[in-house]
Structure 1
Amino acid sequence: MRVKLAIISFTTAIPVLLAGCGSGDEAAGTAAAGESSTINIGFLAPAPRNDGGFTQYALAGVQAAVDADPKLKLTSIVDNASESQEQIEGLQSLAAKNKVVVADGAVLNKAVAVVAPKYPDTHFVLIASDLEALADNVSSVTVAVGLNAMVAGAVASNESKSKKIGMIAGPEVPSSTAWYYGMAQGAKIENPQTQVAQAYTNDYNDVGKAKQAAEAMIANGVDQILSDLDSGSEGIYQAADGKAGTGVYNVFALHCDENKNIIGSGIVNWSDVLKTAVTEAAAGKLASGAISFGLKSGALSFQFCPGKGTDEQKALAEKITKDISDGTVTPGDGVLLPKPSYAFEQR
């Protein structure tokens, strides 16, 4: 059952230690008397904080920024805000009490666009998506996940016996479709005959929907599947267990101990990205507009699970990574998020 929307202030399993949210009489971002130098930070996500994936890693990055600077305080978390009205109300509650508000998820771009103009003194850090128009108090932070997907697609193509591979994601948002387009380009580099399927469950954590989507792919001959999901990945694991020779690939982090079929992962170090973004936002150094972290930033890499990956596949992954980094291979349409019309920084 989905948890009712609330601003929560207690120790969580991540672990994250939170102070009280403060009273409604406090100015945004200002702590109680005697602590006026404290910069309060709020965090909102559409998924559970302990989802084992995107949200948990992001929140760990925020906590790392707080741990590194005694002036920062993570005061409030809103998680499980899956509906648009919950997201708007949650952001408003956080913005009233915090100097920096992290909106952690591509689906939050519309809510941020609605709420940010009402709180000009609060700096919103939107993760994994851009706004349609520049907002002076919003920094949208993304990573070029499609570059990792190119490497994953090439490896999966090489591993595939059927030359049919697939990608399963939650909502069909640009940060997820980039995984598909990147896989498709990487697969074609490895073998022009490889076919790439895509499916969207509209939920990062629904195990049943993920299993159903994976079983449908496998029935159509797909034998390598990338999971752009959080706890919903379990459904793909279950489907892969039912069909010998099906390989699975994760995103964000290695989860090698979760299933024997996992080959590797397109690592996205969201924790470091969030730590950097929050630290800069709190110091007033995170520019408004769009910021993308790429290969050169060290935020991305493809890694194999121990004992997985042939020598040929490891050499292939290294070569494609190098070719992307030095410009020998140019990402195709859809691999990178569209550059917004306003200020953009590539790191």
Structure 2
Amino acid sequence: MESTRERTVLLKIAKKKTMISLTLILAMMSCRDIGVEGGRNDNEVPSFGVALLTSGPVSDAGWYGSAYEGIQLIEERFGARISHQQTNTPAEFDEVLRAYATSGYSLIFAHGFEYQDAAVRVGQEFPEVTIVVSSGGRVADNVIPLIFELEEGSYMAGVVAAKMTKSGTIGMVGGVAIPPAEATFVGFEAGAMSVDPEVQVLVNWIGSWDDVAMAKEAAVTLIRRGVDVLIHNTDAASFGVFQAVREARESGVEVWAMGMNRDQNDVASEVILGSAIIRIPEAFVQIATLWSEGQLTPGEAHYAGGRSGAADYVVNPNLSDKYDPELIAEIDSIRLGIADGLIAVPRIEFLERAGGSF
């Protein structure tokens, strides 16, 4: 529950800002105090406040859900006061960031490329607040892009897809064609072509992260064009991809799906060969640890990829019989090669310093 002081601050904000209702702000600022592992006293004052903004639901079993798990893990490890708010329109980005900064949240995770401009604007107003933008492309003194090198996991997925395809055609369903998402498909294609330079790779962008019906339609279109291994980079829309693959298999078409962002193998375990993943909760905890110790370098991006174990490919244990031992060994070898810097996965560079490029 908020203190009287917090409610007073929020009421003042609501009177000045008309873009977000008082009810929304009050809901946003409510938080839970859960004891830390090892026994934090319920009456103990939280060490610091950590907030999370997402532009989609944390029930997506993917990108947003992993971020919410991240702040829960921070709460458990540090006894932090946490809060989450879903922003439904770009107009809310500045308002919610500003409301959190005003209310004492000193570490804010803005989970998505779309928040980068708002983070820079609000960061200038609150230099004492650190804003971490997941997959962000703009850097400022207190705005830290957290770059997930998911293309390293999708590279391994591409290798698997090229080994598994019988048609010689594999496909990708994408949400919004922003650089971090495009980079995952660059990695996927590179991995596939490292196995078979003649493999055909098709892509269908739907312009939405969460439109399940549109994602299903895009997947159906690709399957009709001969795609028999299909990966995605969406959020809640991934359910549409998996449903399309499930229905195609039920009708006798031999086609497989792959998960992305988090381990989605149990979402549709009968059709998902494996998942290209990023370990978002662990990366959030690492950021919070560095920040709490004063070791998070201001004005620099933080990278989370295969070298730190943050990016990976996870075989679906329910379909492990589809993998021959040689392929499993090859995945392990590629994983080690990426970690050791011996395999350079193609990537898209999109970092820019606020006020000018690097």
Normalising by structure 2, we get a TM-score of: 0.81
State how far apart, in whole Å, the 2-side matches of 1:269 and 1:127 are.
12
State how far apart, in whole Å, the 1-side matches of 2:142 and 2:29 are.
28
Q: Which is greater in Rg? A: 2
User: Deviation per CA, 1:295-324, whole angstroms, max 9, x where unpaired?
Assistant: 121112211111332323212212322333
The structure with the largest helix share of the pair is 2
Following TM superposition, the consecutive aligned residue runs of length 4 or more in structure 1 with deviations greater than 6 angstroms are none
What amino acid does structure 2 have at the position aligned with 1:273?
Answer: A
Mapped pair 1:193 → 2:211: no
Q: 2:81 aligns with which of 53, 70, 73?
A: 73
Q: Which residue of 2 aligns with 1:312?
A: 326
Q: Which residue of 2 aligns with 1:155?
A: 160
Alpha-carbon distance, 1:229 to partner: 2.0
Moved more, 189-198 or 50-59: 50-59
State how far apart, in whole Å, the 1-side matches of 2:101 and 2:178 are.
25
Moved more, 149-158 or 115-124: 115-124
Q: Which residue of 2 aligns with 1:24?
A: none
For the residue of structure 2 that corresponds to 1:183, the secondary structure is: helix
Q: 1:194 to 1:310 in 2, by over 3 A?
A: same
Q: 1:68 to 1:108 in 2, by over 3 A?
A: same
Q: Superposition pairs for residues 171-250 of structure 1, below 5 Å?
A: 171-243=176-248, 244-250=253-259
State how far apart, in whole Å, the 2-side matches of 1:141 and 1:272 are.
12
Alpha-carbon distance, 1:340 to partner: 4.7
For the residue of structure 2 that corresponds to 1:265, the secondary structure is: strand
Please say if residues 155 and 187 of structure 1, whose CA atoms lie closer than 8 Å, have aligned partners that are also in contact.
yes
Please say if residues 290 and 340 of structure 1, whose CA atoms lie closer than 8 Å, have aligned partners that are also in contact.
no
What amino acid does structure 1 have at the position aligned with 2:77?
Answer: A
What amino acid does structure 2 have at the position aligned with 1:106?
Answer: F
Q: 1:55 aligns with which of 55, 64, 67?
A: 64
Q: Superposition pairs for residues 1-347 of structure 1, below 5 Å?
A: 6-7=24-25, 8=27, 18=32, 35=45, 38-70=47-79, 72-74=80-82, 76-79=83-86, 81-97=87-103, 98-131=105-138, 134-243=139-248, 244-259=253-268, 260-288=270-298, 289-306=300-317, 307-308=319-320, 309-332=323-346, 335-338=347-350, 340=352
Alpha-carbon distance, 1:51 to partner: 2.1
What amino acid does structure 1 have at the position aligned with 2:305?
Answer: G
User: Deviation per CA, 1:125-173, whole angstroms, max 9, x where unpaired?
Assistant: 1112220xx3111111111111111110010011111111112121111
Alpha-carbon distance, 1:267 to partner: 2.0
User: Deviation per CA, 1:89-144, whole angstroms, max 9, x where unpaired?
Assistant: 1111111111111111121112212221111121111112220xx31111111111
What amino acid does structure 1 have at the position aligned with 2:255?
Answer: T
For the residue of structure 1 that corresponds to 2:151, the secondary structure is: helix
Please say if residues 46 and 82 of structure 1, whose CA atoms lie closer than 8 Å, have aligned partners that are also in contact.
yes
For the residue of structure 1 that corresponds to 2:56, the secondary structure is: coil
The Cα RMSD (Å) is: 2.4
Alpha-carbon distance, 1:206 to partner: 1.3
What amino acid does structure 2 have at the position aligned with 1:91?
Answer: L
Q: 1:195 to 1:341 in 2, by over 3 A?
A: farther
Q: Unpaired segments of 5 or more residues in structure 1?
A: 12-16, 20-33, 343-347
Normalising by structure 1, we get a TM-score of: 0.83
For the residue of structure 1 that corresponds to 2:295, the secondary structure is: coil
Please say if residues 150 and 261 of structure 2, whose CA atoms lie closer than 8 Å, have aligned partners that are also in contact.
no
Q: Which residue of 1 aligns with 2:40?
A: none
State how far apart, in whole Å, the 1-side matches of 2:84 and 2:353 are.
32
What amino acid does structure 2 have at the position aligned with 1:127?
Answer: S
Percentage of identical aligned residues: 24
What amino acid does structure 2 have at the position aligned with 1:138?
Answer: V
User: Deviation per CA, 1:220-271, whole angstroms, max 9, x where unpaired?
Assistant: 1111111212221111112112322111111133223322110001121101
Q: 1:322 to 1:282 in 2, by over 3 A?
A: closer
State how far apart, in whole Å, the 2-side matches of 1:297 and 1:320 are.
14
Q: 1:336 to 1:295 in 2, by over 3 A?
A: farther
What amino acid does structure 1 have at the position aligned with 2:285?
Answer: K
Q: 1:38 to 1:180 in 2, by over 3 A?
A: same
